[in-house]
Amino acid sequence: MAVYPDAREYRTLIVYLQPRAGNLHVRRQMTHTREEVLAYAKAMFGESKLAEVLAALDEYGTESYEREVNRVKLAILQLSEGKTEKLLYWVKIAKVDYRDPLAAQELGPPSPEEGAKLQATAKNLIDRWGKK
């Protein structure tokens, strides 16, 4: 599976002083551009579907609380695996919580054993809360 361009590259270093402690810290922040989104969308879906894909992707980032717009869009493109249905699914997920596609892109899908364990844990919590 192809990884979008510069996926792991940290381009901006932000240096700041931590309040109270007075310690100097360096925080790395990934920044991505619209051009990267366009290039990756074109590579994944081709020129013929580019307008449709960009229209779907551009639904994310319209609200003030939707953060890291280009990074999230690149994650959505990678998770879509070139399938429009998956693209629409991940855009919908990102609009609820932008961290979900970022985590899914970073961690990948769980193994069947991990998935079963997570489902059992969730079922246990729901049972303990008394909800069905």
Domain ranges of the chain: 34-124
Proportion of the chain above pLDDT 90, given as a percent: 64
* pLDDT on residue 4: 46
Full-model pTM: 0.68
pLDDT (tens digit per residue) in 49-92: 999 999 999 999 999 999 999 999 999 999 999 999 999 999 99
Instruction: Judge whether 93 and 101 are in contact, CB under 8 Å.
Output: yes
User: Tokens 């609009």 — which residue?
Assistant: 95
Model confidence band, residue 31 (pLDDT cutoffs 50, 70, 90): confident
DSSP, residue by residue, 60-116: TT-STT--SHHHHHHHHHHHHTT-HHHHHHHHHHHHH-THHHHHHHHH-PPPHHHHH
Model confidence band, residue 30 (pLDDT cutoffs 50, 70, 90): low
* pLDDT on residue 10: 42
